[in-house]
Amino acid sequence: MWNQTLEIYYAQPVIPLILGATMSYFTRLKMRRIYNWAGTPTALDRKLKILYYDALNVYVDRRSEASLIKTGQYILIEGEDDDNPYIAKLLKFFGDGTGKSKRAVVQWYVRFCEVAHNKRKLLGRKPLPQEIFLYQDRSCDNEINAETIIGTVQVIHLPLDADIPQTGNGTFYVKLCWDTKAFKAVGDEQFQEHVVASQPPARHPCLVLCPPPTWRY
């Protein structure tokens, strides 16, 4: 199995701290990560020569145990702002037969700070630090490099009449969607889909953790 090493900066730990009204992470640490597919491919597109997977193992510098990132989970993704990594729901994993290319398809969510300044007033109220919005913009590219995934995060969809808990435990809450023109209620079908997806997925029988890598310096 092809293992690819990537040396990057990322927030550690990924569980955020609430400092006043701002979401912040610990100072960035330079750590090496290794990504490899977990288990065998679940599907093959012969025409495009693409293999699909259910999960990805992420080994962090010198740690023997991998983090298992699975489709259906919510994830943090590296972005331009180290204190506010991108948030998304992981829909698909795929790559080529060599293992060099690891890609993912996601459903994006946006923080209020990612909404254009001249559009923020459309919310009509002050957002809470833990509030995010389902992003519905068909022109937005939803394919990412899987090796920019930092880790998983908890996202909970709430009905419109529910209060957003101010727990400071790193959980994000969704009540509205944003389509670049207006904030709207999440449709019933989408709401039910994401409520189900918020539950931890059952382990697939074909998902087997690979042996830990040998770290070389």
- SS3 per-residue string spanning 13-62: CCCCEEECCEEECCCCEEEEEEEEECCCCCEEECCCCEEEECEEEEEECC
Give the per-residue pLDDT at 115. Answer: 96
Query: Does 48 reside within a domain?
Result: yes
As a whole number, mean pLDDT of residues 135-148 equals 93
Parallel/antiparallel/unpaired status of strands 86-95 and 74-77: antiparallel
- Averaged pLDDT for residues 81-95: 93
Quick check: is 145 in a domain? yes
3-state secondary structure of 93: strand
Q: How confident is the model at residue 30, as a pLDDT?
A: 52
The pLDDT, as a whole number, for residue 132 is 97
Q: What is the C-alpha to C-alpha distance for residues 88 and 107, in angstroms, rounded to an integer?
A: 5
Give domain status of residue 13, yes or no.
yes
Whether 83 shows a pLDDT value over 90: the answer reads no
Residue 151 is assigned to a structural domain of this protein: yes
Count CB-CB contacts under 10 A for residue 15: 15
Report the alpha-carbon distance of residue 18 to residue 23 in Å, rounded. Answer: 5
Count up the domains in the chain and report the number: 1
The model's pLDDT over 176-198, given as tens digits with 9 standing for 90+, comes to: 999 999 999 987 666 556 654 44
Give the burial class of 146: count Cβ atoms within 10 A of its Cβ; 0-12 exposed, 13-18 middle, 19 or more buried.
buried
The residue behind tokens 């808990």 is 165
C-alpha 109 chain-centroid distance = 9
Asked whether residue 89 is assigned to any structural domain, the reply reads yes
Residue 23 covered by a domain = yes
Does any domain span residue 214? Answer: no
| Better pLDDT: 217 or 96 | 96
Q: Is the pLDDT of residue 210 over 50?
A: no
Residue 211 lies inside a defined structural domain of this protein: no
- Structural domain that includes position 182: 4-197
Check residue 23 and give its pLDDT.
Answer: 35
Q: State pLDDT tens for residues 20-51.
A: 333 333 333 356 788 999 989 999 998 888 99
Is the preceding omega at residue 13 within 30 degrees of 0, hence cis?
Answer: yes
CATH code for the domain in which residue 11 is found: 2.30.30.490
